[in-house]
């Protein structure tokens, strides 16, 4: 039985209430061959599947582990189809709404200290950026590099000495809105770096010699939307001409073989590339900033989730970068260091051969611009919680990732002049 609400009331309800995910499921399917891969693609055509991994139905292929979300209503259809075709699958999440609620399992802190073991909304993150500057003005400064389509500020925290000409590393988090552990890591990094300066030998050495630029939330509008309206939001919130669909995938909007994947040209796709390279205000702000500091930036690191990988160029071609041996060596050292803490296993390699072909990514763009060390982390986990990693895993995730990032930074310090 459905209640018919007066149109006005319905509109207000929609405007306020966040989307719920009661009974929604996340399936993991392993197609054994191309025929089975095509069955998944066909199902995606007739049902609304939200692909978690890979991030787009076009990438589904034989032997790949495919994770997607489906509504309660459609999950029966999907399950019967998988059963009928005798496909290998499991249900990773039985009731997504429950997982959405369960991710907030971090310790409540009654003081108004900023907890690094909780997820924070945009307002709290802005307050946190101010606090970091006020606490360590000699070491932290906040730079507004632009604003978003919805006119929110884009803040980069600079950690290190005033000297702009020193070598530096640029890091960004939260380019995809629903990957919440990513901004949590950027907050952790800034806190730990400033706190351990003068105490931890490596961090002291790093900060004595170089600067870090940290953009804690890249896709601010999308991030806000993921808190207030739809936890599963990925893209930004820009309106697209001649389409009812909203948002651009900022990580397809960079000027790196931008128009080479036809499937990214549909505004309704989660991987929509935008109407032109750098069409998004957010992308433009970041690329302008990086171009403006290109002489000093020696490494670019971007943080995503999930799947536990450390990736380097290229995504848009199977061609290897000229220094791929170097990049592979650093990635090995970095992921080895990461595993020492909790034995978390990461795989590493070029994007194209490790995951699949992607165009317009920030990583490839930064590399082609001349930053010779560019890496993308896909943080925890491998799919048990996916984008809904519980808060109780923020601390271990950040601790191990910190080890990996320090290895990269140490390498840069030693090998660039
Ligand atoms: C899938 O994996 C199996 C076993 O590892 C292998 O024999 C087969 O060739 C693979 N198929 C494809 C299309 O990669
Ligand atoms: C989102 O992306 C679109 C398409 O490129 C862009 O025009 C818009 O400014 C972006 N919106 C936000 C909020 O970033
Ligand atoms: C993108 O790159 C191409 C080729 O390098 C260049 O001609 C073009 O001006 C760039 N576009 C933007 C928006 O930077
Ligand atoms: Zn991502």
Range among 13-27, 48-62, 99-113, 367-381 with highest mean pLDDT value: 367-381
Can you tell me the mean pLDDT for 217-230?
Answer: 95
Q: Centre a 10 Å sphere on the Cβ of residue 71 and count the other Cβ atoms it contains.
A: 18
Q: pLDDT tens digit string along 272-331? A: 888 889 988 999 999 999 999 999 999 999 999 999 999 999 999 999 999 999 999 999
Cis before residue 287, ω within 30 degrees of 0? Answer: no
| Candidates 179, 269, 282, 378; catalytic one | 378
**Among the atoms of ligand 2, which is closest to the Cα of residue 275?**
5
The pTM of the full predicted model, rounded to 2 decimals, is: 0.91
The b-or-e profile of 108-137 (16+ CB within 10 A means b, else e) is eeeeeebbbbbbbebeebbebbeebbeebe
Domains of the chain: 13-102 (3.30.70.340), 122-415 (3.40.630.10)
Residue 56 pLDDT class (50, 70, 90 cuts): confident
Confidence at residue 169, expressed as pLDDT on a 0 to 100 scale: 98
- Which 3 state secondary structure label does DSSP give 379? strand
Active site annotation includes 130: no
**Among the atoms of ligand 3, which is closest to the Cα of residue 278?**
13
Centre of ligand 4 from the C-alpha of residue 151, in Å: 23
Atom 10 of ligand 1 has which residue's CA nearest to it? 63
User: 9-18, 69-78, 178-187, 255-264 — which is least confidently predicted?
Assistant: 9-18
Atom 13 of ligand 2 has which residue's CA nearest to it? 149
CB of 62 shorter than 6 A to ligand 1: yes
Task: Report d(CA 1, CA 3) in Å as an integer.
Answer: 7
Residue 240 pLDDT class (50, 70, 90 cuts): low
Chain length of the chain? 417
């Amino acid at each position: 039985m459905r209640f018919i609400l007066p149109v006005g009331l319905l509109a207000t309800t929609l405007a306020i209430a966040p989307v719920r995910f009661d009974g929604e499921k996340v399936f993991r399917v392993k197609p054994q061959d191309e025929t089975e891969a095509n069955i998944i693609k066909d199902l995606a055509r007739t049902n609304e599947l939200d692909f978690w991994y890979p991030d787009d139905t076009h990438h589904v292929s034989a032997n790949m582990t495919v994770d997607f979300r489906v509504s309660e209503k459609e999950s029966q259809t999907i399950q019967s189809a998988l059963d009928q075709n005798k496909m290998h699958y499991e249900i990773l999440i039985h009731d997504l709404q429950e997982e959405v609620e369960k991710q907030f399992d971090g310790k409540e802190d009654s003081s108004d200290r900023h907890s690094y073991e909780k997820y924070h909304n945009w307002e709290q993150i802005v307050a946190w950026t101010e606090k970091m500057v006020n606490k360590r003005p000699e070491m932290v400064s906040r730079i507004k590099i632009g604003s978003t389509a919805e006119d929110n500020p884009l803040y980069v925290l600079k950690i290190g000495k005033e000297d702009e000409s020193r070598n530096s590393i640029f890091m960004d988090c939260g380019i995809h809105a629903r990957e919440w552990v990513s901004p949590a890591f950027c907050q952790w990094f800034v806190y730990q770096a400033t706190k351990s300066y003068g105490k931890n030998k490596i961090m002291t050495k790093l900060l004595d010699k170089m600067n870090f630029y940290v953009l804690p939330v890249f896709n601010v509008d999308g991030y806000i939307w993921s808190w207030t309206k739809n936890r599963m939001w990925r893209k930004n919130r820009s309106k697209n001409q001649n389409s009812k669909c909203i948002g651009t995938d900022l990580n397809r909007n960079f000027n790196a073989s931008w128009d080479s994947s036809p499937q990214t040209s549909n505004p309704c796709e989660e991987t929509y590339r935008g109407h032109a390279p750098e069409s998004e205000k957010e992308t433009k702000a970041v690329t302008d900033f990086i171009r403006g500091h290109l002489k000093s930036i020696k490494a670019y690191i971007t943080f995503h989730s999930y799947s536990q990988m450390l990736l380097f160029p290229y995504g848009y071609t199977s061609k290897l970068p000229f220094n791929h041996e170097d990049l592979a060596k650093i990635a090995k050292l970095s992921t080895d260091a990461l595993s020492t803490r909790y034995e978390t296993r990461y795989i590493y390699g070029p994007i194209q051969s490790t995951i699949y072909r992607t165009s317009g990514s920030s990583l490839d763009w930064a590399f082609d611009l001349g930053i010779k060390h560019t890496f993308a982390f896909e943080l925890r986990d491998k799919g048990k919680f996916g984008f809904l990693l519980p808060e109780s895993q923020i601390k271990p995730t950040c601790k191990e990732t910190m080890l990996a990032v320090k290895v990269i930074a140490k390498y840069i310090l030693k090998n660039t002049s």
